Amino acid sequence: EPHSFFQKSLSLLSVDTESLQKEIDELAAFSDTPAPSVTRILYTEKDVLARRYIKNLMGLSGLSVREDAVGNIFGRWDGHEPELPAVATGSHIDAIPYSGKYDGVVGVLGAIEAINVLQRSGFRPRRSLEVILFTSEEPTRFGISCLGSRLLAGSEVLVEALKTTVDAQNRSFLDAARSAEYAKDQDDLSSVFLKKGTYSAFVELHIEQGPLLEEEGISIGIVTAIAAPASIKLEFEGNGGHAGAVLMPHRNDAGLAAAELALAVEKHVLESGSIDTVGTVGILELHPGAINSIPSKSHLEIDTRDIDEQRRNIVIEKIQHSASKIAIDRGVRLSEFKIINQDPPALAEKTIIGAMEAASKELNLKHKLMISRAYHDSLFMARVSPMGMIFIPCYKGYSHKPEEYASSQDIANGVKVLALTLAKLSLH
Ligand code: GLV
Ligand code: MN
Ligand code: MN
Ligand code: MN
């Protein structure tokens, strides 16, 4: 029965760190930018090759592999009571432009290795265990974050939006998905929705993407909550014109409106008075983008987050107000103001937190409770399943840049805690 297994088998939980590191390095080679950076964008050739690599590994671990209409990939190890809701784990392998090789990847390759660890130890799951590769956690190509998990969680809004969503090259989402052999004979993607009660638990392993664990010398972070993210797209339009011939009093410069709004975003975020409120203008494009042409159009994308949803919503209202006011003052048009997503925070579930804490203790790994300031597929899986997340330290907290790094030892610790947590939840 459960307890005797854990007592006998703790010492049997051994991670093959060498193979895991080799896989992380091999996966990083599927990139559209040179090493050490990684760029892997949804449904591109590199993304398709990376997916094939993961499906192959799942197969080698004896998992049965299934894909849904948007390319969420599921690898299943049947438990001896396969009709019970399964225990799932997983993350993403898409990578934003010029990022690193650990974000998301540790939670996919590490999950497959956690399954290997359990198989080698002689463990037999009661509930089935599933590894999930989520499609497009990053919003890079279509502007929508956590696309796969949002759909799994049943977002009707997203199903509607995806019928007309296009990328920056005006390629439609459905066309791009079909090029990767997904969404074959359906325009309606609600087939992706998970049935309620599919999973009894979902656990995601991820690098911290912050500096705390490393600074404090702690191996394992146990996430209690994920901050609430939101993103906004907007456009200003003016008359443009010749940079020499149009005199200053006659201009309505869409670029200057954008610059002023970017500073207003910073101001509104700081006005919250909380260190937990953040805002970023990560995209600012000027049209036509010529040195001797007054910008006739500017395009901004703004990311703002907080652990307090209401406080984050106040920032969004202030940004909207500033955008309208700047447009009036500068005589430009606010031709678009679109809130792309405005998600609530998510809480990890008590039983799962308990299982992760117990696993860390039994493995003699120092751990602490913490919040996640980055969002994750777990934010959406929490809508359809009890959720938990395991963080491991990463070098200086670096993420979303090529210097991102986590040591093999820290990754192995995370995989062990994941394996033991999955085992506990599987017998639960
Ligand atoms: C996801 O990568 C995020 O921006 O938190
Ligand atoms: Mn990321
Ligand atoms: Mn990630
Ligand atoms: Mn993320």
For residue 145, give the ligand 1 atom closest to its CA: 1
205 CA to centre of ligand 3 in angstroms = 10
3-state secondary structure of 196: coil
The pLDDT value given to residue 7:
66
The pLDDT value given to residue 12:
80
CB 135 within 8 A of CB 42: yes
Q: Exposed, middle or buried: residue 247 (CB in 10 Å: 0-12, 13-18, 19+)? A: exposed
Q: Tell me the C-alpha distance between 145 and 151, whole Å.
A: 11
The pLDDT value given to residue 4:
59
2-227+345-427 — its CATH code?
Answer: 3.40.630.10
Contacts of 272 (CB under 8 A, 6+ apart): 306, 311, 314, 315
CB 279 within 8 A of CB 269: yes
3-state secondary structure of 285: strand
Angle formed by the axes of helices 408-427 and 350-362, nearest 10°: 120
The pLDDT value given to residue 280:
98
Structure tokens at 37: 């950076």
Domain residue spans of the chain: 2-227+345-427, 228-342
Which residue's alpha carbon is at the smallest distance from atom 5 of ligand 1?
374
96 CA to centre of ligand 2 in angstroms = 7
Q: How many residues does the chain have?
A: 428
For residue 374, give the ligand 1 atom closest to its CA: 5
For residue 400, give the ligand 1 atom closest to its CA: 2
Structure tokens at 75: 């690898």
Helical H segments across 38-90, by residue range? 45-60
Cβ < 5 A residues, ion ligand 2: 103
Q: Which residues line ligand 1 (CB under 6 A)?
A: 138, 374-375
Angle formed by the axes of helices 105-121 and 17-28, nearest 10°: 150
378 CA to centre of ligand 2 in angstroms = 13
Asked whether the domain spanning 228-342 has the same topology as the one spanning 2-227+345-427, the reply is: no
The pLDDT value given to residue 1:
46
Give pLDDT < 70 ranges for the chain: 1-5, 7-8
Task: Catalogue the E-assigned strands of 115-171.
Answer: 129-134
Angle formed by the axes of helices 254-271 and 309-330, nearest 10°: 150
Which of 91, 134, 400, 404 should be mutated for ligand 1, with most atoms under 8 A from CB? 400
66 HSE (CA, 13 A, CB side): 8
Give the ligand at the shortest distance from the Cα of 145.
1
For residue 96, give the ligand 1 atom closest to its CA: 2
Query: What global pTM score does this model have?
Result: 0.95
228-342 — its CATH code?
Answer: 3.30.70.360
Give the ligand at the shortest distance from the Cα of 134.
3
The pLDDT value given to residue 234:
98
For residue 229, give the ligand 1 atom closest to its CA: 5
The pLDDT value given to residue 187:
73
126 CA to centre of ligand 2 in angstroms = 33
